[in-house]
Homo-oligomer: A and B are copies of this chain.
Amino acid sequence: MNVGYKIVNDPIYGLIEIPSGIIFELIEHPIFQRLRRINQLGLSHYVYPGATHNRFNHSIGAMHLTIQAIEILKSKGVAITPEEAEGVIIAILLHDLGHGPFSHSLENQLLLVNHEFLSISLMEQLNDRFDGKLNLAIKIFTNVYHKKFLHQLVSGQLDMDRMDYLTRDSFFTGVQEGKVGYDRILKTLNVHNDKLVIEFKGIYSVEQFLNARRLMYWQVYLHKNVICSCEMLGQIIRRAKFLINKGEELPISNTLKFFLSQDLDKADLLNNKAQILNYFYCLDDSDILMAIKEFTNHSDFILSFLSTNLLERKLLKVVIKNKPIEIDFLKKVSDKVQEKYPTLSEEDLSYLVFEGKEANQAYNIRKEEIHIMLKDGSVRPISEWQEHGIHRIEIVKYFACYPKLAELD
């Protein structure tokens, strides 16, 4: 009378059962354990101190919801074989393997490859070590498997990734507005013509989910100080690459040096997979944190200025606007900064005074629509209900960052 599973405590869902067999083995694998060292929300804990959770927590959570979703769909007569169930669970479990340090913060900067592609590469590597047992998971993840709704559970308008990250991020940040009724959404999942749909009684939960997601974008993911910390980190890395290119020796780990001393892109990854993935496996938040700490004493003013300020959470000033930042304004700011630090070149200034934009669209009907299944079994897109008025406008915000100077206030 033994138990066939392990139990893990989760602050949100309580006790989570881990299926035995390959899923348990994958979780135990060093490549998955590495996710413990990747913070889920990068430096967002500078604004929401509770946001210390990592990609390991999120992946286990998404797995848990996926297992529940599968049980619910099966109980409604949706055909899902044990192999398919395992495939989709593995796909969601490993969907974030490819995240680098601080998750999205440095994506496309340490190497010119997005995290999904890296996830696939790592899944393929694991697939070799697990004798092809991840074949189906990879097919589902890359959406080449014929049952399309399985992919939608992993990546889609209502996937288990979003369901967990909204729930988890709102829990750890303490932002109540991002709470999502995942329980009801899961219970009202169904499949129609190979597509994931929501039964009518879940329509309010879907609406609330879309609103919560939109609010989380503006209140957390794109909070001006979150953007600012993230941008400062990006500038530090850019400067470090610049200095390395100039031939300077930086006090960083060999792992980080590997990525900063060359511009690796998809082609490189394909040509030199084993080596790059080995280095990638070794790369996590601690390489970056240590680098920043070491940089605080570096002789390069830009590098030490940004690193010291980021480490001590003395963020640059951020202005945020609904229209592009005026060039005149940026020019004026640059001039003031140069006045204060006369030795800085124009190139140097670009690390301290810079602009950018962020956009978010709560719901885009031209992309994948969310479909609602009525009691008579018919299916209609949620956009047809005016009373569940989903925001479709794309909101764009423009920002500029620059050192806090008395002269500028």
Contact = CB atoms under 8 A, between A and B. Distances in A.
Interface stretch (A75-83, A137-145, A269-277, A326-334): A75-83
A49 B60 contact: yes
Nearest to A283: B293
Given A15-B183, A76-B2, A57 B50 contact: yes
| Chain B CB within 10 A, most for which of A12, A54, A255, A312 | A312
A215 B212 CA distance: 13
A53 B177 CA distance: 22
Interface string A183-221: 110010011100000010000110110011001001100
Contact of A215 (B4, B11, B208): B208
Interface residues of A, number: 80
Interface stretch (A239-247, A339-347, A387-395): A387-395
Interface in A49-71: 49-50, 52-54, 56-57, 60
A126 interface: no
Interface stretch (A92-100, A108-116, A284-292): A284-292
B14 A312 contact: no
A148 to B, nearest CB: 16
Interface in A298-318: 311-313
Contact of A77 (B2, B28, B76, B211): B2
Contact of A211 (B4, B8, B208, B286): B208
Q: Nearest 10 CB-CB pairs, A to B?
A: A9-B174, A286-B289, A11-B50, A176-B181, A177-B208, A52-B52, A30-B312, A387-B395, A11-B174, A286-B286
24 contacts: A1-B190, A1-B377, A2-B77, A4-B76, A7-B187, A9-B50, A11-B173, A14-B176, A14-B183, A15-B174, A28-B313, A36-B45, A36-B49, A49-B57, A50-B57, A52-B53, A176-B184, A177-B208, A218-B387, A282-B293, A286-B289, A286-B290, A286-B293, A389-B391
